[in-house]
């Protein structure tokens, strides 16, 4: 009996070490998955970079390219998410992994020359041909599609030399919808100098706001608006004096008690004030135009074209 009791007490202690091992072996899919947009894009970039660096040869002596991703779904297409996500991955590969990347402008020119546009919807044959023309060792292609409350990004890299899929390059990630939409709204790649110029011509300060410079937008818009308001006020007052009051002096009841000398003085003063105020209005209008023009020039010079980002992104 004593032997049985001892055996029963010993049994749990013998099995106890197995529990931590079972817990360690259990999958942690939900807790291990990166949660934020930046983290998920970084993981996707890491997977691509690892696969590209495993290609034969020194990756530092080769170049790689990313085509604008295809989009599936009205929302993804309307927000140009294929371009936004491919740009984010290009940045990750160039800056984080120091991979030499084909400049965006050069790839865009090739796509245009091949009448492929920038939709990103390339079949394997087209992708290999584009990669060869760009002098790339591999070309990354992908799609961005709507998946409920997220966007599903699927990528793969094609070996330009062998026309085969680069081993380990096929990857996917679900990106949070709200965060990706916010990113697209402020994405530099979707802006242009001409866009900033056009907006500044329509509304003072809108170009700066488009360039994500709210303080400068307030200064330009406020300055032009104030000068314009002063010019309009001066023009109204001057016009009223010169063309409303001046011609009627002497024919109104209020002027009947004035002597001839006083009436002449009133006529001279009214005309002088009216013409002086109109002159001031003209000067203020010129100041308004100059400030507006300066805002337009500033918006254009402060703007960013896709091409102007290439030097910062190729990792040279």
pLDDT tens digits along 113-169:
776 655 556 777 888 888 889 898 999 999 999 888 888 999 999 999 888 899 998
Q: What is the pLDDT of residue 120?
A: 55
Distance (Å) of CA 251 to CA 26, 259, 265: 101, 13, 15
Mean of pLDDT values over 304-309: 55
**Per-domain boundaries in the chain:** 35-190, 195-309
DSSP E strands in 67-162: the ranges are 70-72, 138-147, 150-159
The two tokens of residue 314 are 């190729």
In angstroms, what is the C-alpha Rg of the chain?
34
Q: What is the pLDDT of residue 119?
A: 54
pLDDT tens digits along 204-223:
998 888 877 889 899 999 99
pTM exceeds 0.75 for this model: no
Beta-carbon contacts of residue 171 (< 8 Å; ≥ 6 apart): 44, 47, 48, 154, 155, 156
For the ranges 7-21, 142-156, 170-184, 283-297, the lowest mean pLDDT is seen at 7-21
Q: What is the pLDDT of residue 6?
A: 40
Mean of pLDDT values over 182-208: 79
Q: What is the pLDDT of residue 124?
A: 77
The two tokens of residue 313 are 């992104």
DSSP 282: H
Spatial distance between the Cα atoms of 135 and 102, rounded to a whole number of angstroms: 8
The two tokens of residue 51 are 């696969």
At 88 the three-state DSSP class reads helix
Q: How many CA atoms lie within 13 A of 133 on its CB side?
A: 16
Q: What is the pLDDT of residue 213?
A: 82
Q: Specify the residue for token string 């170049």.
A: 63
pLDDT tens digits along 225-280:
999 999 999 999 999 998 988 888 877 767 777 788 888 888 899 899 999 999 99
Mean of pLDDT values over 274-300: 93
DSSP 245: I
Distance (Å) of CA 6 to CA 3, 13, 14, 17: 5, 11, 12, 19
Query: Hey, which residues does 64 pair with through a beta bridge?
Result: 101, 138
Backbone angles phi and psi of 144, in degrees to 5: -125, 120
Is residue 283 over pLDDT 90?
A: yes
- Nearest by Cα to 61 from 98, 108, 104: 98
Mean of pLDDT values over 75-88: 83
Mean of pLDDT values over 58-74: 87
Burial class of residue 120, CB neighbours in 10 A (0-12, 13-18, 19+)? buried
Under CATH, what is the fold of the domain 35-190? Rossmann fold (3.40.50)
Is residue 294 over pLDDT 90?
A: yes
Q: What is the pLDDT of residue 229?
A: 95
Q: What angle do CA 314, 104, 109 make, to 5 degrees?
A: 145
């Amino acid at each position: 009996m004593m032997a049985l009791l001892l055996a029963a007490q010993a049994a749990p202690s013998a099995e106890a070490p197995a529990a931590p091992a079972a817990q360690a072996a259990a999958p942690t899919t939900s807790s291990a998955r990166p949660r934020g947009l930046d983290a998920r894009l970084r993981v996707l970039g890491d997977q691509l970079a690892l696969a590209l660096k495993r290609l034969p040869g020194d990756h530092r002596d080769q170049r790689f390219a990313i085509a604008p991703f295809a989009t599936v779904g009205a929302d993804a297409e309307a927000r140009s998410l294929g371009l936004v996500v491919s740009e984010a991955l290009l940045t990750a590969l160039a800056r984080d992994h120091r991979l030499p990347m084909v400049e965006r402008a050069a790839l865009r020119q090739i796509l245009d020359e091949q009448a492929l546009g920038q939709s990103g919807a390339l079949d394997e044959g087209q992708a290999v041909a584009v990669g060869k023309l760009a002098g790339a060792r591999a070309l990354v292609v992908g799609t961005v599609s709507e998946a409920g409350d997220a966007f599903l990004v699927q990528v793969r890299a094609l070996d330009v030399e062998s026309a085969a899929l680069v081993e380990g390059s096929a990857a996917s990630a679900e990106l949070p919808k709200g965060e990706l939409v916010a990113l697209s709204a402020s994405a530099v790649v979707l802006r242009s100098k001409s866009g900033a110029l056009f907006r500044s011509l329509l509304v003072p300060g809108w170009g700066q706001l488009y360039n994500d410079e709210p303080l400068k937008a307030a200064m330009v818009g406020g300055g032009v608006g104030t000068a314009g308001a002063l010019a309009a006020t001066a023009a109204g007052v001057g016009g009223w004096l010169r063309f409303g009051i001046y011609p009627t002096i002497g024919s109104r009841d209020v002027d009947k008690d004035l002597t001839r000398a006083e009436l002449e003085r009133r006529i001279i003063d009214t005309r002088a004030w009216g013409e002086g105020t109109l002159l001031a209005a003209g000067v203020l209008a010129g100041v308004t135009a100059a400030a507006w023009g300066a805002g337009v020039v500033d918006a254009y010079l402060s703007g960013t074209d896709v091409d102007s980002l290439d030097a910062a992104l190729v990792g040279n």
